Chains A and B, each alone.
Chain A
Amino acid sequence: MKKSIWIVMALVLMSPILWAAGQQEIGNEADTWPTKPIEIVVPFNAGGDTDFHARTYAKYLKDILGQPVTIINVAGANGGAGSIRVKNAKPDGYSALFFHDSMLMNKVVGVTDFAHEALDPACIGVHDDTYILAVNSKSTYMSLDDLIQDAKKHPGDIKYASSIGGYTYYVGCMLEREANVHFNIVDAGGGSDRNAALLAQKIDTNVNPYGVMKPFIDSGDFRVLALFSEKRSNLFPTIPTAKEQGYEVIGSRAYFLSFPKGTDPKIIAKMSSAMETISKMPEYAKDIELAYCVEPGFSGTEETLKYLDKTMASFMADQDFILGK
């Protein structure tokens, strides 16, 4: 009796292996792609922004491609672990990586020794252009200029929160350079930790995408001084850009999909056009607005490569800056 239970259990445990082995034998011709489920690696834990954007695409991709798209979370080394896994995967179009600008930043700070050039990027699924600078509403800063003038009077005193090597750190450095001021850049943890720190006035400013701070903006606890984008957002049009206030700092994060190097261009084109279709769907726009206050923004393969190369070049030019030298 007991033995048979263990045999059944062993068989159940072995079944995924058999299933995976069976799948290997089917051909990988680009014309018929996809003929089996596609695995998209998200290099962070489930529940974050990257995971959300990947899953939202996966939800709609299934109907367009006719095959399920599964999300696999491979966290570790600030996204480096998942990137390595896809870089080393077979370029058959069945594994891909969904990551953002941090992939490039990881190379700049030395977490990994490669960036997008080691893979075949397909397209940018969404641009998050909603980086804002907020202060506690009890503070006296009413505009970005108030903050900058105070920083000029008290150099090195204003606590600007970010993690070193993170994107918000880079935004802070750009603002320091543009306004010719000097902040005290402190580490206060991730997005939600920084919300708590700003609420308790342990830090003076907080830069993050709008969606991360939205609950506190809605409740009146935070005051937004500037949006780091070319133009105002349609979703929160009352917030002025830093550019209008005379400080030209632009921040953005692009979430892009890439395949292992050597993947058939036909597969890449097919995936890219499927994602483009989704990015134009109204239900997709509603999903991302509700969760992160972001508007759809898609870029095709060529544009994506241009964007990534340009971003990499600007990161590299500022390497010393980013490393805090």
Chain B
Amino acid sequence: MDNFIIGAQAVLNLPSILLIVIGIITGIIFGAIPGLSATMAIALFLPITYGLSPTQGIVLLIALYVGGISGGLISAILTHIPGTPSSVATCFDGWPLTQKGQATKALGVGIVFSFIGTLFSTIILIFLSPILARFAIKFGAYEYFALGIFSLSMIGSLSGKSLAKGISSALFGCMFATVGIDMIGAVPRFSFGVQSMKMGFNILPVMIGMFAVAEILKAAEESRHPLQSETIKINIKGIKGFGFSWAEFRSQWSNGLYSSLIGTGIGILPGIGGGIANIIAYSAVKNKSKYPEKFGSGIIDGVVATETSNNAAIGGALVPLLCLGIPGDTVTAMLLGGLTLHGISPGPLMFTQNVDIVYGIFIALLISAVLMLLIEFYGLRAFVALLKLPKSTLLPGIFIFCVIGAFGVNNQMFDVWTVLLFGGIGYFFNKIKMPTAPFILGFIIGPIIEVNLRRGLMFSQGSFAPFITSPIATVFLSASLLSLVLSGIKNIRRKMDKKSI
């Protein structure tokens, strides 16, 4: 308890609170605009924190992180374009809800469950982090390989009608991820002698292209058919609070808890990265559901799964960061940089030597969660009003931000070309009804599988045996096998049912 008082003393003062408010608002804006992301908000603000005290600096970055991850839901739900990679799966059910005129409800659910996800993972972080960190380091090459395979086995539930198209999409994702300098031997692959191709494709421009640019192209095409009305009905009048009922909230309680656990768990494992927590949680909740066929048609279960899990990944990602100094993704790597710059090295002694920082972070997370809830609640009606803008104004604006955002990733034109290339690929995928989510999953998980397979074989000097004998790896590999068999059986049954009808 004393520690909390120390943390509170460090954070509960006017400048720090002000920084949290600025961080949350900026984060939400960066998260909400496709093209700009939480990562970029933190990269922009990192140099500013050098002039602040260590606690103030980290508090600002934490607020940006929480706001940025949550803000992505706004554009995902309202425009079918995810604001950040963490909201890719939010589009699946958020957009159909908007089309049904229930945008306010979708946003309300997303906001409340973002809050719950952040809160859940913060509590885990506060009470269990040293134990969980010791567990996380048990994951080596064999275990990450198995976990990667397990994640890929989720494709089935992301594939829509055709499993074959889903698998091909994921394989394309894996393939495109191999372009560039390979991560083990530093060999340039598929660069065709072009220097900038050696950098490979960065996930952010790829995602902006696949989802934002492809969506804009589609809208541009549809605008030539005036029959397809583009205005969406929205009912704001008569909607109270967050736009959903207590009964609906109660019905989502177990989904929320389940997704919180998945999000926190993925966050804790630094080798996976929090960005795909939303996709995996969506698939898991869908598989567990009694009515999986309704997913994608606009039910709040889907929004609950993604928005709880992506925010839960924040608290999870801070576990290895604070206890072991290991960043799981670019965002946490920059947080680590923000701390190192002030001469603070996260590690086993962090919880005893830097009590003010650690507990300051905890309190900042809690305050950020509450502020995020309040700010988004009051902004909810304003966000929905965005839909009144004609698409011909809104989408070109978004397109500009996509290009700026892509350039901002590394200050390079190559990333802008990447956006355009993958915009074309995404558009083509939509045309042939190939799902894009498996592509992103393959793009992220493919390299994890490859690198850990190769690392594992270096460790075992060429033997495959440890991939099967490691207990954790065995669990994940059997789970993937089981999931494949089950989805196969489901598929056959569905076909039989169709025939009998």
Q: Which residues of A contact B (CB under 8 A)?
A: 2, 6, 9, 13, 45-48, 51-52, 55, 59, 71-78, 80-81, 84-85, 109-112, 156, 159, 163-165, 184-189, 192-193, 195-197, 199-200, 202, 211, 214-216, 218-219, 221, 287, 290-292, 324
Contact = CB atoms under 8 A, between A and B. Distances in A.
Contact of A80 (B185, B198, B335): B198
B196 A81 contact: yes
A187 B346 CA distance: 23
Interface string B44-56: 0011001000000
A196 B200 CA distance: 27
B454 interface: yes
B340 A52 contact: yes
Contacts of A109: 186
Contacts of B180: 77
Contacts of B412: 74, 76, 81, 85
Contact of B140 (A111, A184, A200): A200
Given A71-B47, A195-B324, 5 more contacts: A55-B47, A74-B412, A188-B141, A195-B347, A291-B340
A208 to B, nearest CB: 12
Contact of A45 (B334, B335, B393, B458): B334
B228 interface: no
B262 to A, nearest CB: 22
B224 to A, nearest CB: 23
Nearest to A196: B137
Given A13-B404, A52-B341, A200 B411 contact: no
B50 A111 contact: no
Contacts of B336: 47, 192
Interface residues of B, number: 62
A73 B400 contact: no
B337 A46 contact: yes
Interface in B165-216: 180-181, 183-188, 195-196, 198-200, 202
Contacts, number: 159
A202 B404 CA distance: 43
Contacts of A72: 411
B348 A219 contact: yes
Given A184-B461, A211-B345, A291-B341, A164 B195 contact: no
Contact of A111 (B188, B348, B414): B188
Contacts of B43: 45-46, 73
Interface string B115-153: 000000000000000000000111011000000000000
Contacts of A6: 393, 397
Nearest to B330: A45
A76 B347 contact: no
Contact of B411 (A9, A52, A74): A74
Contact of B410 (A52, A76, A195): A76
Nearest to B321: A192
B311 to A, nearest CB: 22
B327 interface: yes
Contacts of A218: 347, 349
A221 B348 contact: yes
B455 A188 contact: yes
B270 interface: yes
Contact of B348 (A80, A81, A215, A291): A215
A75 B184 CA distance: 17
Nearest to B457: A186
B184 A187 contact: yes
A239 B62 CA distance: 37
Nearest to A43: B410
Nearest to A88: B195
A77 B196 CA distance: 8
20 contacts: A47-B335, A52-B340, A71-B47, A73-B410, A76-B198, A77-B181, A77-B199, A84-B196, A111-B188, A164-B186, A187-B455, A188-B141, A192-B336, A196-B137, A199-B137, A199-B324, A202-B140, A215-B348, A218-B347, A292-B340
